[in-house]
Amino acid sequence: MRIEQYKIEEINGEQLANHKRKLDFVGADVKYLDGVMAKLQAFNIAIPSWALGTGGTRFGRFSGGGEPRSLEEKIEDVGVIHALNRSSNSISLHIPWDIPDNAASIKVLASQLGLHFDAVNSNTFQDQKDQKYSYKFGSLHHVDKEVRKQAIEHNIEVIKYGVQLNSKALSVWLSDGSNFPGQLNFRTAFQNTLESLQEIYSALPDDWKVWVEYKPYEPNFYSTTIGDWGQSLLLANKLGDKAATLVDLGHHLQGANIEQIVSLLLMEGKLAGFHFNDSKYGDDDLTVGSINPYQLFLIFNELVEGMDARGMTHATDIGWMIDASHNVKDPIEDLLQSVQAIKIAYAQALIVDKAALQIAQKNNDVTLAQEILQQAYRTDVRPLIAEASLKEGGALDPVGVYRKLKVRDNLIKERGLKTVATGL
Ligand SMILES: [Mn+2]
């Protein structure tokens, strides 16, 4: 299903006067408004192929209807999202859930929708049918060299698929770890992981990167071999310039200061990118900004400040992606909400009075520093996001237009009520 541009414009037209009134109000107080708008218009967040179907937990999965049945239909769903928000111009594929059997035709479909392919993701946390060795006790860290070899070959195969699609990065998340004390020799597990990653690294094309994701627990509950940013950074540093650390917001223990982690990774030139989501307790995979939008803003504040300090281009010098699971919401609506939340936090970070903040920090004026940050955070920047979308040909209110056009009903008519997308 594709959304026709004139339908978006029609609905925008009805809301335009109201929008302009709000935009004028907030815009009057924004310094360098043109620069802020240009950055918001350029900002895009990749959609993972596994997020377009209803997610599940280990207890069950409740399908929502009209789910994409193939990679082509997943790309079409990202096309719907991008048509509405003009901020989701790429898709990140997971292998083997979404193997591009015909790369040429997949690329044509994507480019028709204004999309390209973001990082490719490998999977050694599940056993696949006809797989020789099991990953029950890990993959790249496994005690058995043959298992490690199989996992290395899988990652190299994923790179090959990515090359066909013009992806530029391999994203690796390992579930490798242990459930009980004594199960693993930590040093051997780490060394095995490093050596395996070195083999994968040497198979990377020149213009590629490998992103090393970390996670403290689940599915293993005693140790994870790449459990935190320190372990990931250690590996990335040993691997070389093409390796960097990927931060998934849900992959931290409660109370972790993620903004500080981000700040230092950026300083070291080792921040690969993000998997955005939100959480209350653990790796909840909830809609971005639904639980703790202030934390998201503080993270973006560090990102903007740190990227500017290094002269980086916000939109393209870091990998921006959503990694969430939608158990009770329509996945497309949830993704639209997530992208909006990310852009709101980004816009708020862009309007922080950085010069004033620097002075407050130099003077140890703690009260003023807080006032400056919260002045930005409490500004309703939604009209700026809407204007950026409008200027790029998207909807002023993406979720509203999605509902008005009854996109899900149409998808159910097209694909059926009982469809199940590949993924978790
Ligand atoms: Mn992730």
Residue 224 Cα to ligand 1 middle (Å): 15
Q: Any residues with CB less than 8 A from the CB of 112 and at least 6 apart, and which? A: 79
What pLDDT was estimated at residue 355? 97
Neighbouring-strand partners of residue 4: none
Q: With contact defined as beta carbons under 8 Å apart, do 36 and 60 qualify?
A: no
Alpha carbon distance, N-terminus to C-terminus of the chain: 24
Rounded Cα distance between 360 and 6, Å, is 49
Beta 116-117 vs 56-57: how paired, if at all? unpaired
Average pLDDT over residues 148-176: 98
Place 55 in a pLDDT band, splitting at 50, 70 and 90. Answer: confident
What pLDDT was estimated at residue 84? 98
Q: Which residues of 107-139 are buried (b: 16+ CB within 10 A; e: fewer)?
A: bebbeebebbbbbbbbbbeeeeeeeeeebebbb
Q: What is the mean pLDDT of the chain?
A: 96
Residue 248 Cα to ligand 1 middle (Å): 5
Residue 355 Cα to ligand 1 middle (Å): 34
Residue 131 has pLDDT above 90, yes or no: yes
What pLDDT was estimated at residue 424? 61
**Residue 27 CA to chain centroid, in angstroms?**
29
Residue 165 Cα to ligand 1 middle (Å): 21
Place 419 in a pLDDT band, splitting at 50, 70 and 90. Answer: confident
Residue 286 Cα to ligand 1 middle (Å): 12
Residue 171 Cα to ligand 1 middle (Å): 9
Residue 275 Cα to ligand 1 middle (Å): 5
What pLDDT was estimated at residue 420? 74
What pLDDT was estimated at residue 1? 85
Look at residue 376 and give its three-state secondary structure. Answer: helix
Residue 181 Cα to ligand 1 middle (Å): 26
Question: Nearest Cα to 269, choosing from 244, 232, 299?
Answer: 244
Residue 255 Cα to ligand 1 middle (Å): 19
Residue 274 Cα to ligand 1 middle (Å): 8
Q: With the CA atoms of 158, 163, 165 and 166 taken in that order, what torsion angle do they form, in degrees rounded to the nearest 10?
A: 130
Residue 177 has pLDDT above 70, yes or no: yes
Residue ranges with CB less than 5 Å from ion ligand 1: 248, 275, 323
CB-CB neighbours of 234 under 10 Å: 16
Q: Any residues with CB less than 8 A from the CB of 395 and at least 6 apart, and which? A: 8, 11, 12, 84, 85, 389, 401
Look at residue 213 and give its three-state secondary structure. Answer: strand
For a pLDDT cut of 90, what percent of the chain falls above it? 94
Residue 264 Cα to ligand 1 middle (Å): 20
Residue 277 Cα to ligand 1 middle (Å): 9
Residue 216 Cα to ligand 1 middle (Å): 12
